[in-house]
Amino acid sequence: MAHQPRKSLKKTRKRPKVDIAKTALGEEPEKRTRKSVAEKSGKKLADKKAGDGMRELRVNVKTAKYRKTSSTQWLMRQLNDPFVAKAKAEGYRSRAAYKLIELDEKFNLLKTGTRVVDLGCAPGGWCQVAVNKVGTKGRVVGIDYLNMDTVAGADVLELDFLEPGSPEKLKKLLKGSADLVLSDMAAPTTGHRATDHIRIIALAETALDFAMDVLSPDGAFVSKVFQGGAEGELLTRLKKNFTSVRHAKPKASRSDSAEMYVVALGFKGEKK
């Protein structure tokens, strides 16, 4: 006769029924579907501010029959630039406004009552930032050979700064000394890095000549330069005439660009 297994005399305890459809707080959990997860992810992307390093959906631009490849590439870069979208949303005329905003936050350039000169000011983004910071007690003047809409609170000359007589006209418009001279001037690029670097350093040196003529003691000078090795003479002059000379590359400057800024603080010149 086959051996029969002995039945266990120990009674098994029945576990209380648990409604697994509810959370610990007694609420029904939200169902997770591919659609809901995608919607949440999309909302988080939309809530992120431009320029915080968050990757967004890329916009592709189709080539057009009469559009050059370089133009298509520029358009694609503009459409995918978070600072371009942010400038449009916040009322600035260009993404360059955020370069000055960041430089000001780092070096405390703009204060209430500051007298500012903006060289190469079109389309007016830096003038907008300066006017907002210096207030009615300050003064903002600019110059550019490109036409631009007026900026309330700023006086702008439509002239080429490099033409003879333009610096004198700008000084008359300023009506006194300056506390800050900004130069975002840039010569048309040739594609040859060494040549482009020499050209922009020449512009920076011309801007420095003007700055040393109009700056008050302890004034500041900011100029665009390109990364390279041909700025030795410019740096020598800056270190001789200012107490502090720094380089900075704002986040709003495109990472693939050689553009950066030299910031000189504490002008040692005599009172004008």
Buried b (16+ CB within 10 A) or exposed e, 168-180: eebbeebeebbbb
CA distances from 245 to 107, 239, 265 (A): 11, 6, 6
Single out the catalytic residue among 99, 133, 171, 224: 224
Q: Which residues pair with 139 in a beta bridge?
A: 115
- Distance, CA of 75 to CA of 68 (rounded, Å): 11
C-alpha to C-alpha distance for 200 and 223, rounded to whole angstroms: 10
224 catalytically annotated: yes
Output the six-digit token pair for 62: 């189709």
Count Cβ atoms below 10 Å from residue 188 Cβ, excluding itself.
Answer: 6
List the one residue out of 160, 157, 183 whose CA is nearest residue 170: 157
What lies within 8 Å, CB to CB, of 151 at 6+ separation is 124, 127, 128, 131, 140
Q: Are 115 and 135 in contact (CB under 8 A)?
A: no
Q: Which residues are catalytic?
A: 224
